[in-house]
Amino acid sequence: MAPVNPIRVTERAQALAGEVLKPGDIAIDATAGKGRDTAFLAMAVGPKGHVHTFDVQAEAITATQNLIDAAGLNSLVTLHHRSHVEISEALPANHQHQVGAVLFNLGYLPGSDQKIVTQPASTLHALQAARDQIRPGGRIICVTYTGHPGGTDESNIVLQFAVASEKAGYTISKVGYFTDSAKPWILVVTRT
Angle at 21 between CA 54 and CA 46, to 5 degrees: 75
Nearer to ligand SAM, 36 or 178 (CB): 36
Distance (Å, rounded) from C-alpha 58 to C-alpha 121?
A: 22
Binding residue (CB under 6 A) for ligand SAM from 53, 118, 144, 190: 118
Least gap, CB of 48 to ligand SAM (angstroms)? 23
Name the nearest CA neighbour of 131 among 178, 167, 107. 167
Could you tell me how many residues of this chain bind ligand SAM (CB under 6 A)?
21
Nearer to ligand SAM, 82 or 135 (CB): 82
Distance (Å, rounded) from C-alpha 56 to C-alpha 174?
A: 27
Binding of residue 55 to ligand SAM (CB under 6 A): yes
Cβ(191)–Cβ(135) under 8 Å?
A: yes
Least gap, CB of 108 to ligand SAM (angstroms)? 6
Least gap, CB of 9 to ligand SAM (angstroms)? 11
Residues 6+ apart with CB under 8 A from 32: 38, 53, 54, 55, 57, 60, 61, 63, 64, 79
Least gap, CB of 49 to ligand SAM (angstroms)? 18
Interface residue list for ligand SAM (CB under 6 A): 31-34, 36-37, 54-57, 60, 83-84, 105, 107-109, 116-118, 122
